[in-house]
């Protein structure tokens, strides 16, 4: 007579005792310890693969777990097996696409190219410069021009044309300057040219273009200085955005330098966003910048903080982004936490 302890039977049941029982019932020959006549038993589970079963998985219908499940489902199983749960909203957040550009169908470079042709009537210039070599820490953050850089340039050009006309020479000058900015996205290129006799709107825009060029060149400290100067110019329509971008540049500079002074400056810049009443529109980004700073300057501590948050009864509001961060931290070749491993 074979006996099983209740605990062992319960755990085995979790991973598909019914599947094993049905497979054994269909075995033609008596079970043998060795031999070529043993029927092969394979375990399959649709858990985490069927769209209609995704949320059920997060509710605890794990089925048979496999190492080939994606990171999200492996984390969900880990949390469920230690007795914690997810709300349906948290499940949907984890199942949605995370941390990339919007789902727009337009190609961002094409969007900018189409707009600039109305002014310059020429195709985008080719660049033969060697691709920029970025450090490992910054490469993880992927700070080359995001798709929205091109979309925002296209939207700004539409506004310039609306205000001044496509044939206006200063609109042409702004467009040429923006070409120079975007050329620095992947390789070092020239700065936007000076325009000393330009109207006030273009002079303000040119100062912003130059600061952004240095940011794309990965010269974050200089970009932070230029953005801060724009932020102090009460006449500049870019002053609020520039004060926010000064904080972003300071965070990137700290991630590259990792000196106590640069980290302290980045912390102060993030705190300034929260304290500045004029930057209410950017206040929600302050915690994200703080997370980025922690990601880049104290990786082990940040991974441990995230792992602890993922196993707590109350999950963080930025669950999907935080899980993405932990995955990237753990894939640098180090193992900081049991959850990440």
Is residue 169 a part of any domain in this protein?
Answer: yes
In this structure, the answer to whether residues 67 and 182 fall within a common structural domain is: no
The per-residue pLDDT for 128 is 63
In this structure, the answer to whether residues 82 and 228 fall within a common structural domain is: no
Is residue 136 a part of any domain in this protein?
Answer: yes
Question: Structural domain of residue 54, as residue ranges?
Answer: 48-96
Dihedral class, residue 88 (left if φ above 0, else alpha if ψ from -120 to 50, else beta): alpha
In this structure, the answer to whether residues 23 and 119 fall within a common structural domain is: no
In this structure, the answer to whether residues 254 and 167 fall within a common structural domain is: yes
In this structure, the answer to whether residues 168 and 255 fall within a common structural domain is: yes
Tokens of 229: 């100067």
pLDDT along the chain (341 residues), means of 10: 42 43 44 49 50 78 86 92 94 82 57 88 72 68 72 92 95 95 87 92 97 93 96 96 96 93 96 95 92 91 94 92 89 81 81
| Integer Cα distance of 114 and 49 in angstroms | 40
Judge whether 87 and 317 are in contact, CB under 8 Å. Answer: no
In this structure, the answer to whether residues 18 and 141 fall within a common structural domain is: no
Is residue 341 a part of any domain in this protein?
Answer: no
Is residue 223 a part of any domain in this protein?
Answer: yes
Is residue 138 a part of any domain in this protein?
Answer: yes
In this structure, the answer to whether residues 205 and 130 fall within a common structural domain is: yes
The per-residue pLDDT for 302 is 93
**pTM exceeds 0.85 for this model:** no
Task: Count the domains in the chain.
Answer: 3
The per-residue pLDDT for 14 is 43
- As a residue count, the chain comes to 341
Is residue 122 a part of any domain in this protein?
Answer: yes
In this structure, the answer to whether residues 202 and 250 fall within a common structural domain is: yes
In this structure, the answer to whether residues 90 and 118 fall within a common structural domain is: no
Instruction: Count Cβ atoms below 10 Å from residue 92 Cβ, excluding itself.
Output: 14
In this structure, the answer to whether residues 65 and 209 fall within a common structural domain is: no
Is residue 160 a part of any domain in this protein?
Answer: yes
In this structure, the answer to whether residues 22 and 118 fall within a common structural domain is: no
Is residue 102 a part of any domain in this protein?
Answer: no
Q: Of 106, 205, 89, 207, give the one whose Cα is nearest residue 148.
A: 106
In this structure, the answer to whether residues 151 and 84 fall within a common structural domain is: no
């Amino acid at each position: 007579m074979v006996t099983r302890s209740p605990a062992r039977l319960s755990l085995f049941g979790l991973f598909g005792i019914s599947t094993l029982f049905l497979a054994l019932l269909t075995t033609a020959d008596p079970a043998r310890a060795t031999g070529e006549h043993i029927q092969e038993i394979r375990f399959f589970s649709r858990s985490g693969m069927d769209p209609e079963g995704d949320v059920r998985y997060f509710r605890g219908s794990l089925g048979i777990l496999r190492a080939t499940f994606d990171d999200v489902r492996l984390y969900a199983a880990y949390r469920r097996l230690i007795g914690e749960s997810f709300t349906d909203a948290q499940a949907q957040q984890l199942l949605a696409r995370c941390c990339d550009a919007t789902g727009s169908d337009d190609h961002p470079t094409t969007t900018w190219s189409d707009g600039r042709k109305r002014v310059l009537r020429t195709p985008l210039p080719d660049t033969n410069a060697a691709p920029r070599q970025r450090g490992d820490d910054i490469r993880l953050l992927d700070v080359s021009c995001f798709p929205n850089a091109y979309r925002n340039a296209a939207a700004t050009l539409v506004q310039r044309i609306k205000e001044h006309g496509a044939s206006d020479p200063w609109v042409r000058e702004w467009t040429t300057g923006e070409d120079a900015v975007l050329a620095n996205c992947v390789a070092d290129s020239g700065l936007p040219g000076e325009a000393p006799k330009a109207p006030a709107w273009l002079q303000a825009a040119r100062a912003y273009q130059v600061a952004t060029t240095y940011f794309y060149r990965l010269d974050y400290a200089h970009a932070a200085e230029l953005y801060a100067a724009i932020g102090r110019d009460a006449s500049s329509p870019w002053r609020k955005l520039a004060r926010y971008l000064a904080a972003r540049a300071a965070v990137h500079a700290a991630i590259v330098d990792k000196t106590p002074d640069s980290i302290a400056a980045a912390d102060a810049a993030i705190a300034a966003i929260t304290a500045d009443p004029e930057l209410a529109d950017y206040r929600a980004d302050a915690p994200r910048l703080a997370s980025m700073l922690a990601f880049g300057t104290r990786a082990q501590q940040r991974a441990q903080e995230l792992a602890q948050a993922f196993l707590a009864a109350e999950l963080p509001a930025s669950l999907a982004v935080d899980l993405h961060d932990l995955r990237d931290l753990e894939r640098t070749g180090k193992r900081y936490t049991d959850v990440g491993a």
